[in-house]
Amino acid sequence: MGPRRYTYLPISQDCLKTKIEQTKNLLEKLQLIKTFIPSPICITAGEITHCFATYLQYRRTSFFRVVPGTPPGIFGLRTRTVNRKYDRKTEQARLRQPILETMRMQQNPSLLALDTVFNKAAQLATLTLDAGQTKELLEEENWEWYEPGLFYPVRIGEVFKSRYQVIGKLGYGSRSTAWLCRDLNGHKYVTLKVCERETASIRREMAAYDHLSTIMMRKEGALLIRELLDTFKLQGSQGEHHCFVHEPLGMSMETLRRLCPGHKLTEELLKLFLIHLFLALDFLHTDAKMIHADLQAMNVHLRIEDESILRYFEESEMSDPSPRKVYGDRVIYESRGLRAPKSSGRPVLCDFDTYTGDIQPYVYRAPEVILGIPWTYSVDIWNVGVMIWDIFENKHLFNAQDGNGESLSLYHLAEMVAILGPPPLDYLRRSRTPSAYTKNSLECFDDAESSEENLEGENKILFLKFIRKMLRWVPEERHSAKQLLEDPWLRS
């Protein structure tokens, strides 16, 4: 089979030089081009410069052969130069057009990728922040402990493990960043969590998933725990970074709460959320023998049933690239949220990186954690009881600080006394420092009855009884997740 024939308008040497100069200036601003490659083809700025010169060269060619699958910059062209007259006005008009407007090569995906790059280049340049020209902190830079080598420099368009291609940034946390990826083997979307340099917290999370993988996941509660699909490590400039591959999930319960009127879940939504959460905790406590120890609304996400929101995310990143900040060879991207789905699946419990040592969000701490008493599964139950106040009342049940921000633990315990009454002396004696927490040192504050504002009558009484089953001084007296599933208020 002979070479295919393509015909292009001739282009002058002056225009070629102008185009090349324009592109070089643009590349200096971009520093990263491979963002827009829609297939697993990685292109560096240096390669793109060579590719562009090559492209301008074969724009003046009438015959060449396209080698399928050849990466950009090595097109395998067989050329024959054609000398033609050209109109200067036409050439100047062409200079003002998109760079690849006249190029149509459907046979070669590498050239299509190149087409996408240059059509989006100018747009990306306006979105790219030069770190040397701005002091504005972006995303993970806002953490006090941030340093360039702490987080792995993921780039949109990269392919990890010859399988997972990065589409866009979903979000970031104190110890990791999250990315939507395409599984090139399974032809599906996945979420990639890229952790900071290896720490004890990350090792605990890995151990938790290893343990969960050994358990027969047959109970209903097991289906409400986020599954680990794959794991691997990346070598960064200052150490290794663990990567966790999960199914993509939708908005968190915290996001859902903020979307509700008054930033409060309705009673029906709250009950549905709690039923699924207690099913998940019953599986963790009874079958897996694990404690979550970091229960909060942002760690519970809704499953995605409407996959179109993932396709929309990918298309949006291609047509309207996320802003990013460039630090030499490092890039920090701004996260892009998923749009609201037409329908959502069941809640799923996530994040298992903190189940020993310093546990629980500060205002959710159980009294035994404050007092230094050995803790067990019941800390999760206390955690849920306090969290309910946040998502149903839109305020903390305990603020854990005085007006001066001092004596936080003592003040926190004093707030508990207002709700629960004074702690039993036998319970206080379990503490490592019992003399620091006496009944006389714990002032009283407003009680829970006056703080609850959403319910009335018998329903309010049942709700407060339900809360008190979780908020008890003595851990052994708190109800289990399985018992709470049968509570009259929850089942009403």
Catalytic residue ranges: 294
What DSSP string describes 16-74?
A: HHHHHHHHHHHHHHH---GGG-SSS----HHHHHHHHHHHHHHTTBSB----TTPPTT-
What DSSP string describes 414-447?
A: HHHHHHH-SPPHHHHTTSSSGGGS-GGG------
Closest CA to 277 of 310, 251, 301, 259: 301
How far from chain centre, in Å, is Cα 245? 12
The count of residues in the chain is 492
Residue 490 CA to residue 307 CA, distance in Å, equals 31
CA dihedral 12, 16, 21, 23 (to 10 degrees): 130
> What's the number of CA atoms in the CB half-sphere (13 Å) around residue 218?
1
Q: Counting runs of H as helices and runs of E as strands, what totals does the chain give? A: 16, 12
Burial tier of 144 (Cβ tally within 10 Å: 0-12, 13-18, 19+): exposed
| 227 close to 380: Cβ distance less than 8 angstroms | no
Do the bridges between strand 324-327 and strand 128-130 make them parallel or antiparallel, or are there none, so unpaired? parallel
CA dihedral 42, 159, 129, 73 (to 10 degrees): 0
Give the chain's largest Cα–Cα span: 100
What DSSP string describes 100-112?
A: TTT---TT-HHHH
Closest CA to 439 of 427, 455, 423, 462: 423
Q: Which two tokens stand for residue 436?
A: 């620091």
Residue 452 CA to residue 464 CA, distance in Å, equals 9
